[in-house]
């Protein structure tokens, strides 16, 4: 066994109902005096409660999917104008993504307070979109110095969005089994992440107002993101980044739709990954287990339901082909990618 594994430095606070106290403790630990709060308008009331006792210098609510460059520039300018010395981000992946965009050029530390299962808070990956092209990269400056997980903050997330966000987290796990820097530690984290999400997400669907299922799902989302941060982007995430940037598709739903098609595409040439997934799902193979979970959750099934047009498929295939990792288990060609993406567009059975 030979591998190189990087573990990212980060503090984690996990306690339901303790977001405000946790954020205050982390801001005090940083000795910060001028807090920039990033939270979308929809999270305004929640954010007000969490930061009520903090020295807030500015509140910034211009949050958009895929972090357009012009949006990032305005947030950076606001941080500089108000001399912010820490960022507190409260929200989902788009909010965390904007905080990372500011940290990328300013070096400001981030205290992240997630309200979904996106997982961006546990990675050093940033993403910016310009002219319908999403560019991603890795930089230690964008890794939040601390994450404050409070499961009660996810209670207002509707079941439909919880399912999509949770399957996005599960996609981090699956991709981590064959991504460019996959290793045994990533695999251990990913498999435990799948286990937690496979138990937690049905609990969320059955009892949306309960904490047990959501706690399991949030724990699984963290594990999935840590695995992904080390393993890197595999085929699944390359596809979804292309589709999100080019066609402004909703992030979580796109990941939820594409996942079974990528698993069906790669599993025949990734037997160890498939075996691990089969075992944790308790199914004959990974795809069968995933599909059983998706059926339980009434998961999103087709990209056309989210505004992706059939006429866009040829351009999407060409763009995806350029970004496929060299060591992807199954060799990607224009032909087999076209078949896969068309199936995901129409929602046919993965094969």
Domain ranges of the chain: 11-154, 159-346
Q: Are 87 and 111 in contact (CB under 8 A)?
A: yes
Amino acid 6: pLDDT: 84
Render 258-304 in DSSP notation, one character per residue: HHHHHHHHHGGG-HHHHHHHHHHHTSSSHHHHHHHHHHHHT----GG
Amino acid 138: pLDDT: 92
CATH of 159-346 among 2.30.30.90, 2.30.42.10, 1.20.1090.10, 1.10.10.10:
1.20.1090.10
Q: Where residue 223 falls among pLDDT bands split at 50, 70, 90?
A: very high
Distance in angstroms (rounded) separating the CA atoms of residues 218 and 225: 11
Amino acid 187: pLDDT: 96
In percent, how much of the chain has pLDDT > 90? Answer: 95
pLDDT of 237 above 90? yes
Q: Where residue 235 falls among pLDDT bands split at 50, 70, 90?
A: very high
pLDDT averaged over every residue in the chain: 96
pLDDT of 296 above 90? yes
Strands (DSSP E) found in the chain: 11-14, 35-38, 56-60, 86-91, 110-114, 125-130, 133-138, 146-149
Amino acid 106: pLDDT: 97
Identify how many contiguous H helices and E strands the chain contains and give both numbers.
13, 8
Distance in angstroms (rounded) separating the CA atoms of residues 87 and 75: 11
Q: Where residue 53 falls among pLDDT bands split at 50, 70, 90?
A: very high
Tell me the pLDDT tens digit for each residue of 118-160.
999 999 999 999 998 889 899 999 999 999 999 999 999 999 9
Distance in angstroms (rounded) separating the CA atoms of residues 215 and 218: 5
**What is the 8-class DSSP label of residue 6?**
-
User: What's 11-154's CATH class?
Assistant: alpha beta
pLDDT of 164 above 90? yes
Amino acid 134: pLDDT: 87
Q: Are 43 and 90 in contact (CB under 8 A)?
A: yes
The number of beta carbons lying within 10 Å of the beta carbon of residue 66 is: 22
């Amino acid at each position: 066994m030979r591998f190189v594994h990087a573990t990212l430095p980060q503090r984690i606070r996990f306690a339901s109902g303790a977001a405000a106290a946790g954020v205050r403790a982390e801001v005090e630990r940083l000795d910060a005096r001028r807090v920039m709060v990033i939270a979308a308008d929809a999270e305004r009331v929640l954010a007000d409660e969490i930061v009520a006792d903090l020295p807030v210098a500015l509140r910034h609510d211009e949050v958009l999917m895929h972090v357009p460059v012009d949006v990032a520039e305005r947030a950076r300018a606001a941080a500089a104008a108000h001399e912010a010395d820490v960022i507190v981000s409260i929200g989902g992946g788009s909010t965390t993504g904007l905080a990372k965009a500011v940290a990328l050029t300013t070096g400001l530390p981030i205290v992240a307070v997630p309200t979904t299962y996106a997982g961006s808070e546990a990675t050093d990956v940033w993403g910016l979109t310009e002219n319908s092209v999403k560019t991603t990269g890795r930089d230690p400056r964008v890794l939040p110095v601390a994450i404050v997980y409070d499961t009660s903050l996810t209670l207002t997330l509707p079941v439909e969005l919880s399912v999509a966000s949770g399957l996005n987290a599960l996609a981090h796990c699956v991709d981590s089994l064959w991504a460019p820097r996959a290793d045994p530690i990533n695999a251990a984290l990913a498999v435990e992440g799948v286990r937690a999400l496979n138990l937690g997400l049905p609990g969320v669907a059955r009892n949306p107002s309960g904490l047990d299922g959501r706690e399991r799902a949030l724990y699984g989302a963290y594990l999935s993101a840590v695995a992904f941060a080390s393993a890197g982007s595999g085929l699944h995430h390359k596809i979804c980044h292309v589709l999100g940037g080019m066609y402004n598709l909703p992030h979580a739903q796109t990941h939820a739709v594409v996942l079974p098609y990528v698993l069906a595409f790669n599993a025949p040439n990734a037997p160890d990954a498939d075996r691990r997934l089969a075992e944790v799902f308790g199914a004959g193979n990974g795809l069968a287990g995933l599909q059983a979970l998706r059926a339980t959750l009434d998961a999103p099934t087709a990209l056309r339901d989210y505004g992706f047009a059939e006429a866009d498929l040829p351009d999407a295939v060409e763009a995806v082909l350029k970004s496929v990792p060299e060591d992807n288990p199954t060799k990607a060609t224009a032909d087999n990618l076209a078949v896969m993406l068309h199936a995901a567009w129409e929602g046919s059975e993965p094969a």
